[in-house]
């Protein structure tokens, strides 16, 4: 039996250990310390933005963003119907309503053609998610946002370093959000970041992140704030990981190329795309199982497991999840409903070897002969 092949695992080396040790030895173990600011500045620079606000995780990044933009009760926010649930949940935290929009059949990202019909007088923002590492089609969305005077929030939790028309994602939103959870391109264990070019939004996020208190006036709480801070230890890990991000992306793309080559002639599998405008970083190498040809995704997952290969189902459509099911009356969500139940993430770690990829593809081929 081969060694277990995980879906994903962090790629931690000597550099990470050394930076975290330095942070530990400095005594700055909470959210003060030189690594926090360094990580914020370096990550913002990497994405081509002016300001970075680090936070405890990607969910808090979204929540902080929505609060900084003043989204609240009575407002509506457009979200893709296919995305990790934090996107809809954080909208719900603010008392506003998440309005799901269907996705494109090939990129699995929000369909710009279907956004306009969901805009009402209450709509304040559109959240763009770059699912599984492929950028959404940003330009038409920015055009719609401009026409209706809406904020654009990018959720690039799954797409660090992916590019849209030659620019890194996270460059386009009024505020852009990232997660550094253990399975992300770079990790801080738990962690997240908001990026913006707007000084006022930056100041607002800094205020809300730290109990509504400014650095210059300790213990004077101007507004009800939160503790959403990242620690210096986590930031130290982030700084080391950021130095390796281009290498990680190169490996992800190389692995995807091999997967695509080995799986390309299987008619029961749909492979992930890379549109002309995109640089896909293949955060998760993801495929669709063409059920209509008699193959069953859940059975394939079980069979892979028997061969010691980890895999994962796609996110369920937000409109099918219990907290949202009765609130979403919309019938035009067919693409997301079809894709979500056919999708499968295959092992995607940067530590994956080409031998392992060949083994996984061979097992897949054998399963369905
Ligand atoms: C698109 C997206 N947004 C938000 C999050 C939430 O990030 P976190 O798990 O760091 O809270 C995730 C997490 O995987 C995600 O994939």
Span 256-313, pLDDT tens digits: 999 999 999 898 999 999 999 999 999 999 999 987 777 889 999 999 999 999 999 9
pLDDT tens-place string over residues 207-232: 999 999 998 999 999 999 999 999 99
Percent with pLDDT over 90 in the chain? 93
Atom in ligand 1 nearest the alpha carbon of residue 59: 11
- Apex CA 146: angle with CA 141 and CA 149, to 5°? 115
What is the distance between the alpha carbons of residues 343 and 158, in angstroms, rounded to a whole number?
16
- Confirm or reject: Cβ of 192 under 6 Å from ligand 1: yes
Evaluate if residue 71 carries a pLDDT over 90: yes
What is the distance between the alpha carbons of residues 272 and 339, in angstroms, rounded to a whole number?
12
- List the alpha helices (DSSP H) in 212-316: 232-242, 245-263, 297-306
Q: How confident is the model at residue 324 (pLDDT cuts 50, 70, 90)?
A: very high
Residue 101, beta-bridge partner list: 80
What is the distance between the alpha carbons of residues 202 and 185, in angstroms, rounded to a whole number?
24
Is residue 313 a contact partner of residue 344, using CB atoms and an 8 Å limit? Answer: yes
* Choice from 7, 8, 10, 58 to test ligand 1 binding pocket (greatest atom count within 8 A of CB): 58
pLDDT at 1: 64
Strand bridging mode 97-101 / 123-129? unpaired
* Choice from 85, 158, 175 to test ligand 1 binding pocket (greatest atom count within 8 A of CB): 158
pLDDT tens-place string over residues 100-124: 999 999 999 999 999 999 999 999 9
Evaluate if residue 237 carries a pLDDT over 80: yes
For 20, the token pair is 């975290």
Query: Where does the chain show beta strands of DSSP type E?
Result: 51-55, 76-80, 97-101, 123-129, 151-155, 163-164, 167-168, 175-179, 192-196, 269-270, 278-279, 285-289, 312-313, 343-346
pLDDT at 326: 83
What is the distance between the alpha carbons of residues 140 and 16, in angstroms, rounded to a whole number?
40
Region 1-26: mean pLDDT is: 95
Question: Would you call 302 helix, strand, or coil by DSSP?
Answer: helix
Region 321-329: mean pLDDT is: 89
Dmax over CA atoms of the chain, in Å, equals: 69
**Separation of first and last alpha carbons in the chain:** 21
Buried b (16+ CB within 10 A) or exposed e, 74-89: ebbbbbbbbbbbbbbb
- Confirm or reject: Cβ of 153 under 6 Å from ligand 1: no
Question: Which positions ≥6 away from 41 have C-beta within 8 Å?
Answer: 52
Region 152-179: mean pLDDT is: 98
Is the pTM higher than 0.95? The answer reads yes
Can you tell me which residue has the tokens 């690039």?
Answer: 156
CA of 179 to the centre of ligand 1 (A): 5
How far, in Å, are 52, 78, 113, 227, 320 from residue 31 at the CA level? Answer: 15, 33, 43, 10, 38
What is the distance between the alpha carbons of residues 135 and 213, in angstroms, rounded to a whole number?
36
- Confirm or reject: Cβ of 234 under 6 Å from ligand 1: no
Q: pLDDT averaged over the chain?
A: 96
Region 72-82: mean pLDDT is: 98
- Confirm or reject: Cβ of 158 under 6 Å from ligand 1: yes
- Confirm or reject: Cβ of 83 under 6 Å from ligand 1: yes
pLDDT at 151: 98
How remote is the C-alpha of 70 from its chain's centroid?
Answer: 22
Residue 286, beta-bridge partner list: 345
Q: How confident is the model at residue 369 (pLDDT cuts 50, 70, 90)?
A: low
Evaluate if residue 330 carries a pLDDT over 80: no
Question: Which positions ≥6 away from 294 have C-beta within 8 Å?
Answer: 268
Query: Where does 33-168 show beta strands of DSSP type E?
Result: 51-55, 76-80, 97-101, 123-129, 151-155, 163-164, 167-168
């Amino acid at each position: 039996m081969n060694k277990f092949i995980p879906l994903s695992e962090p790629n931690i080396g000597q550099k990470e250990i050394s930076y975290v040790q330095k942070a530990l030895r400095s005594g700055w173990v909470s959210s003060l310390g030189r690594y926090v600011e360094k990580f914020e500045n370096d990550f913002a620079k990497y994405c081509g933005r002016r300001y970075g606000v680090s936070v405890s995780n990607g969910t808090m990044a979204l929540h902080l963003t929505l609060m900084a933009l003043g989204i609240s009760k009575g407002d509506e926010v457009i979200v893709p119907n296919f995305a990790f649930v934090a996107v809809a949940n954080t909208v719900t935290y603010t008392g506003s309503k998440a309005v799901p929009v269907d996705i494109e059949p090939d990129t699995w990202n929000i369909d710009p053609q279907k956004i306009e019909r969901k805009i009402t007088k209450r709509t304040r923002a559109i959240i763009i998610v770059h699912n599984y590492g492929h950028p959404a089609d940003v330009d038409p969305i920015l055009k719609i946002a401009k026409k209706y005077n809406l904020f654009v929030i990018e959720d690039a939790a799954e797409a660090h370093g992916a590019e849209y028309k030659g620019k890194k994602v996270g460059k386009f939103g009024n505020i852009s959000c990232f997660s550094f959870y253990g399975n992300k391109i770079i990790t801080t264990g738990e962690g997240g970041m908001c990026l913006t070019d707007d000084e006022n939004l930056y100041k607002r996020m800094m205020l809300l992140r730290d109990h509504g208190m400014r650095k210059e006036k300790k213990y004077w709480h101007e507004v009800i704030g939160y503790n959403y801070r990242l620690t210096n230890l986590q930031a130290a890990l982030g700084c080391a990981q950021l130095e390796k991000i281009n290498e990680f992306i190169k490996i992800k793309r190389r692995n995807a190329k091999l997967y695509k080559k080995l799986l390309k002639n299987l008619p029961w599998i749909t492979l992930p795309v890379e549109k002309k405008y995109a640089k896909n970083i293949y955060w998760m190498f993801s495929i669709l199982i063409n059920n209509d040809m008699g193959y069953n995704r859940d059975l394939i997952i079980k069979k892979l497991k028997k061969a010691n290969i980890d895999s994962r189902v796609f996110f369920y459509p937000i409109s099918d999840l219990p907290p949202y099911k009765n609130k979403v009356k919309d019938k035009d969500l067919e693409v997301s409903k079809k894709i979500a139940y056919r999708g499968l993430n295959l092992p995607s770690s940067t530590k994956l070897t080409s031998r392992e990829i060949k083994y996984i593809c061979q097992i897949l081929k054998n399963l369905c002969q």
